[in-house]
Amino acid sequence: MSRPIQLVVASANPVKLAAVQRGAGSVWRGRDCSVVAVSVDSQVSDQPLSDAETLSGAENRARGACAAEPDADYWFGLEGGVEPSPHGLLTFAWIVVIGSDNRIGRARSASFLLPEAVAGKVRSGMELGQADDEVFGRTDSKRSDGAIGLLTAGALDRTELYAQAVTAALIPFLNPDLYPPE
């Protein structure tokens, strides 16, 4: 029996940990994955306000996880963000995975428009999770169903939204001949 695949996630948020476990489990079916959480600063705003800032936060988190736990197989940075669009404020997440072979995978989750009641609070400087909590009368929703879960009445939650992007971010590791190390 082979040893578990060692995954380090730059977050203690249970949603992000579950998303990595689920996404990695769908890629490495039949293999045990050990998930370790580390606290790593994103080095971006608490609420990233652009696609570029969100991606930078995810990359910074993945690199920080690698520095904190250098003996793992893969290091994950997950960062949620928002960005203005012609139709309103979009929200999404970037996932960055660094492998022990210096290969890097990047994927962005699906994005969706926030209702103006939430978007206005975010534009005023509030973090999305706090804005969701105020509008929906919740507490700490970013550590459970998130905006997507609140807005879809649970048809899709934040874990599943992120897990799909984790799976997509692992594509370079499934196709190493097509994605050289960086």
* Closest of 88, 86, 106, 84 to residue 97, by C-alpha: 106
* Closest of 80, 82, 77, 39 to residue 59, by C-alpha: 77
Residue 80 forms beta bridges with which residues? 93
Q: 83 vs 95, 109, 131, CA distance in Å?
A: 16, 13, 15
Per-residue confidence (pLDDT) for residue 1, from 0 to 100: 64
Task: Give me the domains of the chain, ranges plus CATH numbers.
Answer: 5-174 (3.90.950.10)
pLDDT in tens, 46-88: 999 999 999 999 999 999 999 999 999 999 999 999 999 999 9
Average pLDDT, the chain: 96
The answer to whether residue 143 scores a pLDDT higher than 90 is: no
